[in-house]
Structure 1
Amino acid sequence: MMVVTVIAGVLLIAAAGITSFRILAGPSTLDRVVGVDSLTAIAASGLAVWAAYDRDTTDVPAIVALALVGFLGSAAVTRFRVRDDR
């Protein structure tokens, strides 16, 4: 179980780094919105890996809340987004 947790943690950290690059260097606002949404999903996945490692279910409401905030945030941004000027 420890090996799987370490591998999942390393992969999530790598994904967070790549996603952070997309947020910072994204050519459009939609790229940045997708990056932030992906980063919240990665954070929720990290909490899920921690909950599985710790064998504690008290983190599950935080995972659900983070997923809900990520979804509502990206939906709100795409709803009220202004077009980029090229």
Structure 2
Amino acid sequence: MTSVLQATETFLDIAVWISLIAIGISLLLLLYRAIQGPTNPDRAVALDGIGVNLMGLAALISIMIVTTKFNDVILLIGILLFIGTLAIAKYIEKGALIDRDMD
């Protein structure tokens, strides 16, 4: 039984490290797209992707450390990401974040 648990732990360690490398490469590519993007919507999608990757990174670190303390961090990143995506979408659509009526 202990050999099965040890094999599972080894497999989990390998999978986490492969996932960390993949997220690192993805973050670099998304950072390039956020800086170099030809249009503002491309930059907005890249920033959204960076946020999702940060959520995944926090989850993988939580798995590596074997704790549930990062669950709140993951939820906070998700909430801020949603609010930021709405703000960027409104800015791209209307050109301003706050509508001021001069009536």
TM-score normalised according to structure 1 size: 0.90
SS class of match (2:69): helix
Q: Does 1:57 align with 2:52?
A: no
Of structures 1 and 2, the larger Rg is shown by 2
Give the superposition deviation at 1:80.
2.6
Task: Encode CA deviations 1:8-64: one digit per residue, 9 max, x unaligned.
Answer: 100000100110111011011111111111001101100001111211001000000
Q: Does 1:46 align with 2:40?
A: no
Unaligned runs of 5+ in 2: 1-11, 96-103
Unaligned runs of 5+ in 1: none
TM-score normalised according to structure 2 size: 0.76
Higher RCO, 1 or 2 (CA under 8 Å, sep at least 6)? 1
Percent identity of equivalent pairs: 17
Q: Distance in 2 between matches of 1:59 and 1:49?
A: 10
Alignment partner, residue 47 of structure 2: 36
Q: Distance in 2 between matches of 1:53 and 1:26?
A: 34
Superposition pairs of residues 61-80 of structure 1, within 5 angstroms: 61-80=72-91
Q: Which segments of structure 1 move beyond 2 Å, counting only runs of 4 or more?
A: none
The CA RMSD measured in Å over matched residues stands at 0.9
Q: How many residues align?
A: 82
Alignment partner, residue 11 of structure 1: 22
